[in-house]
Amino acid sequence: MNQHTSRQWIVVVALIIAAAPFANATELMYRGSDGQSHPYIAPQRTGEPYIETYGVARGGSGPTFNVEYLEVTNNTNSGFDDPTLGATRRATVAAVFAYLGTVLDESGSADIQVQFSQFDGSGFLASAGPLYFIVNNCQEGLVFQHITTGVDPISGTPDGYMQVDFGYNWNNDLSAPAPSEIDLFTVVLHELTHALGFLSLTDANGGGLNGLNPDTRAAGFDGYVQNGNGVSLINCANGLFVGTSNDLRGFNNGVKHAGSNVVAEWHALGNSGNAPLYAPSTYAPGSSTSHWDTNNPNVPATAIMRHQLPLGGQIREYHALDLAALKDLGYMLAAPSPGPGDLDGDGDSDLDDHAGFVDCLAGPNNAPSPTAPTSVQDCRDAFDFDSDNDVDLADFDAFLLVFGS
């Protein structure tokens, strides 16, 4: 790949080899970018853990994220503790978590550890993933478990990890990236979606999280992975890979995601069959089967879980295809919020929204009286373009300007 025009993503997955409560760091391992399992060594801390807690402004509901920045904990003056850029970078991460809180209709928490940054600018942009217990079946990662149940799987241990390589030319804040910059918000959103569970634990030879078969597999994802002929590659009951290495390289009509929500959205986009996953003929550890296939022209350009991002690009919200994958993982999603001219929150202003406008239209100085479940505030959020608390013909003129977009 030309590193000057695009970057690939990677997933690093940590795991726990015993279901007992966390005792010391020797019990932890992780799947590295080389596709192998490695022992996880607990980080050294020179001070009290520096943790920022991010909640949600969505009516006081939604998940809470507790994020430890090891560089700040250890006063490294680098990465997320950089004297000039550290606070800006952490504010961008906070904005990503705030966005996730508006998407996930869950009341639990997740503990994320942001590891010491890299600075060589020679490999992948960033990595992230959840921890798993080692069992021979499909199971949810600790991030999913903590968010959806509210119960901390292992007290005092992170549920997931993230690491960034700041050796590249980053757009660190919330402004639009320059043509030569990589957007930090976009990359962090992508990586944290891996931590939520959007990833396969299957390696090039069909081994699972610990490189074995049967082994630990990712519930809500590996169980939906099929070849292009509709044959499932994982038996979730026992964690057994039942496909071939050629399947994972796309030689049997590609690799597909067959989750019901993903398939429904893929068809809504005008496609047939199952949604394509990235499966190059040369297996790419950390990338293969864990992303939408960017090489497929029907994969939306604004889907965050693509395997590549052009320099200067930004994707700061989920596409409907990404949201469908979160549903298949098992997350409850918040109802979409109306935007200007977009009452149903589906990202466009179309005939459905036109019908919604007619329902909200009440004339000057009159409060909208829409048909349930649309609320008065929904009408104002979508159609009160001049912010005078009504929906009238002046707003209709403004609606026509965005209609069809």
191-249 residue pLDDT tens: 999 999 999 999 999 999 888 999 989 999 999 999 999 999 999 999 999 999 999 99
55-86 residue pLDDT tens: 864 445 689 999 999 999 999 999 999 999 99
**β-pairing, 240-241 with 234-235?**
antiparallel
Q: CB 366: neighbour CB atoms within 10 A?
A: 12
Residue with structure tokens 């994969």?
299
Residue 276: pLDDT band by 50, 70, 90 thresholds?
very high
Average pLDDT over residues 257-268: 97
Q: What is the predicted pLDDT for the residue at 35?
A: 54
Written as six digits, the tokens of 246 are 């050629």
Lowest mean pLDDT among 12-16, 25-29, 77-81, 262-266: 12-16
Q: Please state, in angstroms and rounded to a whole number, the distance separating the CA atoms of residues 130 and 85.
A: 27
pLDDT at 16 over 90: no
Average pLDDT over residues 175-190: 97
Residues facing 342 on adjacent strands: 339
Residue 5: pLDDT band by 50, 70, 90 thresholds?
very low
Q: What is the predicted pLDDT for the residue at 210?
A: 85
CB-CB contact of 191 with 202 (8 Å): no
- H-helix or E-strand spanning residue 90: helix 86-103
Percent of the chain with pLDDT over 90: 74
For residue 119, the one-letter residue type is F
91-124 residue pLDDT tens: 999 999 999 998 999 999 999 999 999 999 988 8
**β-pairing, 160-164 with 109-114?**
parallel
Q: What is the DSSP string of 159-216?
A: SEEEEEBTTS-EE-SSSPPPTT-EEHHHHHHHHHHHHHT------TTS--TTS-SS--
Q: What is the predicted pLDDT for the residue at 167?
A: 97
Percent of the chain with pLDDT over 70: 88
Q: What is the predicted pLDDT for the residue at 182?
A: 97
Lowest mean pLDDT among 129-138, 170-179, 356-365: 129-138
Q: What is the predicted pLDDT for the residue at 3?
A: 37
Whole-number mean pLDDT of the chain? 88
Lowest mean pLDDT among 186-190, 266-270, 277-281, 310-314: 310-314
Q: Where are the domains of the chain?
A: 1-334, 351-402
Residue with structure tokens 């757009």?
171
Contacts of 291 (CB under 8 A, 6+ apart): 9, 277, 278, 305, 306, 307
Q: What is the predicted pLDDT for the residue at 29?
A: 61
Q: What is the predicted pLDDT for the residue at 373?
A: 83
